[in-house]
Structure 1
């Protein structure tokens, strides 16, 4: 079985066109898409890493606050502990909020009570994109409750 195959012509007037330059056009189209995918991967990894680092910070602060003798001291200790823990984890927050529920301190000794700490950290994403930067930030949250010692002495 024989086929009649016509050879490809190389002249511009021929039936087939030359493919020179098509790779450059493909690269010009696909390069921005590839860069966008890499940027999204970096942002996602940064958020996941920051979320991993903030977990447990409120637990440390709540545990330290539960050892305090007063509600005011618990508030101060929890704030200092959370800030120190975030710094030691290498998490650079542009805004740190520490909320401490010290209502358990009004319970009399012998009664079960607890202290709850909520920590929020806003991570800036503008330093990821280099000179242009990516707009926006992400706020991460962590909370924990720690029991107060029922045999505590408030004196």
Structure 2
């Protein structure tokens, strides 16, 4: 470390400046890292919930009755969330199977809505909410000419 003369002729050193830089930079880097992790978690949650809603609707559309469709769709939606490893603080898989009441020969669509509350409390980022709710809707057409019950 070199000393630099000042205007008054006294000498100052850069001693301790590295510690100050470290104290300022480390929290900023930890915050940026936490935001990256939160962004990745949110992106993964959205992609997984979209896939779950589409799978739930597709599984429900293959069933023969409204009751079977509701059960198959619920199982498919939960299976996708479990298989992908998404941790949700609360999960809801809701199916609209009213399309089974439409007569054969009339186009109809089964709809699903999957909701997942993604936790962020473990990241300890200042100002970040404890969780964010991610929701997606999916739909799948019933076979127009298949008998429905």
TM-score normalized with structure 1 length = 0.80
Q: Shift of the alpha carbon at 1:113?
A: 1.0
1:79 aligns with 2:41: no
CA displacement, residues 9-38 of structure 1 (integer Å, 9 cap, x when unaligned): 59xx84332221122112112221121111
Q: Distance in 2 between matches of 1:35 and 1:95?
A: 28
For the pair shown, the structure with the greater C-alpha radius of gyration is 1
Provide structure 2 residue ranges, at least 5 long, that are not aligned to the other structure. none
Aligned partner of 2:113 among 102, 118, 122:
118
Provide structure 1 residue ranges, at least 5 long, that are not aligned to the other structure. 1-6
Equivalent in the alignment of 2:140: 146
**2:51 and 2:80 in contact (8 A); partners too:** no
Distance 1:148 1:16, change over 3 A: same
Moved over 3 A (4+): 7-10
Q: Distance in 2 between matches of 1:151 and 1:51?
A: 34
Which has the larger helix fraction?
A: 2
Q: Shift of the alpha carbon at 1:48?
A: 1.4
SS in 1 for 2:89: strand
CA RMSD for the aligned pairs? Answer: 2.3
Aligned residue pairs total 143
TM-score normalized with structure 2 length = 0.83
1:107 aligns with 2:102: yes
